[in-house]
């Protein structure tokens, strides 16, 4: 991959979707020397090819990215990151479910693949920046720190999956589509006659074309069956393995309802293989512990931090306080939140700025506190 011009060179991660395609378009119009790069992350097997889903990283997506680059008159390259993707995304995904936690594979892909391995590859090739089609915005403060803001389109904001970025990485990144709404991005694509202008957004996990994560995990781990119990420890029945359940789940429990009321997964214990079930109201908690903390800039861990916290991608931000205890943090919401799920990210905001986050470790079920108190 020989590159001659060293002026304002930027590598755009081209997924084959409309967002990354318009990111390349916008940057070219801004005068950047744009190079499109599509990552080979997961080999599509023959059985995969028969499943039609609007997922990312398929063979069709690669061809779409190539066509967009041809239309824009920019070079396009195909880079193999399969080994890294297997280790840092797929293995992580399976291992988290194997320990009763619910992972977020897109965050792992961003953290390790796009903003680590790809960035290092880009710098090796003398590129000045890399860019993606994420809906987020960057601003530089008077002190020179790069601030990461929510995308202008609140319905598409993707700052949640970017919480692991640090100042070194942020100084080398561009998120051009974050300055616009999704409708405007599609309008730009149509005006430029890009072949992906009307292409649907990807929905499925790229390495699970069927969309059935349970079957995918089942083929790769030994199931850990155990008991369903209620909040008082009474056995309600058996389950086929902790890997196949997540906090908040009520379907596929294969248990009769309790006096007509549905049961929900409240907690998964990887030590005993017990899954605690309860009522919907038992899913509401205020306090939990998170680890694997990461912040975009320096944080005073001796002070109580007041933030708006988000505990899942589609959740609303809610006021909370963060108390640091060693390498972990205790987060307390002002009001109870539903289904605080171990393994999922919690991300912290101050107004529209994303300042960092961590991975949810465990929460406290309200009735546990009541039983202990009495």
| Residues belonging to the active site | 109, 206
Pairing, β 76-80 against β 264-269: unpaired
Can you read off the two tokens belonging to residue 310?
A: 């988000």
The distance from CA 165 to its chain's CA centroid, rounded to whole angstroms, is: 13
Residue in 293, 300, 306, 301 with CA at minimum distance from that of residue 346: 293
Q: CA-to-CA distance for 326 and 276, rounded, in angstroms? A: 29
Rounded Cα distance between 214 and 310, Å, is: 26
The structure tokens listed for 104 are 């977020």
Evaluate whether 179 touches 133 at the Cβ level (below 8 Å). no
From the CB of residue 85, how many other CB atoms can be counted at a distance below 10 Å? 24
- Say how many CA atoms lie within 13 Å of 305 toward its Cβ: 23
Q: Which two tokens stand for residue 23?
A: 């990111």
155 token code pair: 């319905």
The structure tokens 């960057």 sit at: 138
* Cα–Cα distance measured from residue 164 to residue 23, given in angstroms and rounded to the nearest whole number: 22
Six-digit token string for 99:
């320990």
């Amino acid at each position: 991959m020989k590159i001659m011009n060293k002026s304002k060179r930027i590598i755009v991660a081209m997924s084959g979707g409309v967002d990354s395609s318009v990111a390349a378009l916008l940057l070219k119009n801004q005068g950047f020397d744009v190079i499109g790069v599509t990552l080979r992350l997961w080999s599509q097997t023959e059985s995969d090819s028969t499943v039609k889903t609007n997922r990312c990283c398929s063979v069709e997506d690669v061809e779409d990215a190539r066509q967009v680059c041809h239309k824009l008159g920019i070079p396009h390259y195909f880079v193999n990151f399969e080994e890294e993707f297997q280790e840092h995304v797929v293995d992580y995904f399976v291992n988290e479910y194997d320990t009763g936690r619910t992972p977020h594979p897109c965050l792992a892909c961003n953290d390790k693949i796009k903003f680590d391995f790809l960035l290092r590859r880009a710098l090796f090739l003398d590129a000045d920046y890399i860019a993606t089609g994420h809906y987020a915005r960057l601003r530089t403060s008077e002190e020179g720190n790069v601030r990461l803001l929510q995308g202008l389109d609140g319905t598409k904001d993707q700052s949640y999956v970017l919480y692991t970025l640090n100042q070194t990485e942020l100084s080398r990144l561009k998120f051009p589509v974050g300055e616009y709404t999704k409708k405007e991005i599609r309008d730009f694509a149509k005006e430029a006659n890009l072949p992906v202008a009307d292409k649907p957004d990807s929905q499925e996990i790229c390495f699970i074309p069927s969309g059935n994560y349970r079957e995918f995990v089942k083929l790769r781990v030994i199931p850990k069956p155990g008991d369903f119990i209620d909040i008082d420890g009474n056995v309600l029945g058996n389950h086929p393995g902790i890997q196949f359940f997540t906090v908040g789940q009520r379907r596929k429990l294969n248990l009769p309802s309790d006096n007509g009321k549905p049961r929900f997964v409240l907690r998964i214990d990887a030590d005993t293989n017990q899954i605690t079930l309860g009522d919907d109201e038992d899913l509401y908690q205020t306090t939990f512990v998170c680890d694997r903390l990461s912040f975009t800039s320096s944080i005073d861990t001796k002070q109580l931090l007041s933030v708006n916290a988000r505990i899942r991608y589609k959740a609303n931000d809610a006021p909370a306080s963060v108390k640091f205890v060693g390498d972990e943090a205790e987060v307390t919401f002002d009001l109870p939140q539903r289904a605080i799920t171990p393994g999922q990210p919690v991300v912290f905001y101050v107004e529209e700025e994303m300042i960092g986050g961590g991975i949810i470790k465990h929460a406290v079920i309200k009735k546990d506190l009541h039983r202990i108190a009495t």
